Amino acid sequence: MTTLEIAAPVEPQSGYSIAEASAATGASADTLRYYERAGIMPTIGRTGGGQRTYTPDDLGWITFVRRLRSTGMTMQRIAEYTTMVRDGDGTIADRRRMIEDHRATVAAAIKELSSVLTVLDRKIEHYEAAEQGNDVGCSEQPLQYANQLT
């Protein structure tokens, strides 16, 4: 999992070019184009010359999608969520359930990563002791949620 970097907020304006949207959200221009082709984005406005123009709401949506991706939500699930958003208020309960389910998966992954940190800390202590000629032993714990971390 990579670290998600979100640029500082951009002052509101009528529209952002793809380069400005990329800089504001940390998503590459290629990623923005992909989101649009995949149906993840709302209809993106165009200038008279055909260049994309993103709104502040578009930037917020891009940031939200990137956060979902950084927590392991698949593009397929994001597309399903996007469809529900487009379908309107009748899907609010379904959207909430989807986000709750994903939150539970993220919480389980965080718990497992915390456990992994403990194992790594023990291993570091083991090596520090070994460097001083002592052996404190170490243990390893199975990764219960490893399949959810990839």
pLDDT at 134: 82
pLDDT confidence of 129, banded at 50, 70, 90? confident
Position 56, amino acid: P
Structure tokens at 49: 């010359």
Position 131, amino acid: E
d(CA 121, CA 128): 10
Say if residue 12's pLDDT is above 60.
no
d(CA 40, CA 19): 19
pLDDT at 122: 86
Position 144, amino acid: Q
Structure tokens at 77: 């699930």
Per-residue pLDDT tens digits for 59-117: 999 999 999 999 999 999 999 999 999 999 999 999 999 999 999 999 999 999 999 99
Q: Which residues contact 42 (CB under 8 A, 6 or more apart)?
A: 57, 58, 61, 86
d(CA 103, CA 97): 10
Per-residue pLDDT tens digits for 28-64: 999 999 999 999 998 899 999 999 999 999 999 999 9
Angle at 94 between CA 90 and CA 95, to 5 degrees: 95
DSSP letters, 76-122, are HHHHHHHHHHHH-GGGHHHHHHHHHHHHHHHHHHHHHHHHHHHHHHH
Task: Please provide the distance, in angstroms rounded to a whole number, between the alpha carbons at the two ends of the chain.
Answer: 8
pTM of the model: 0.72
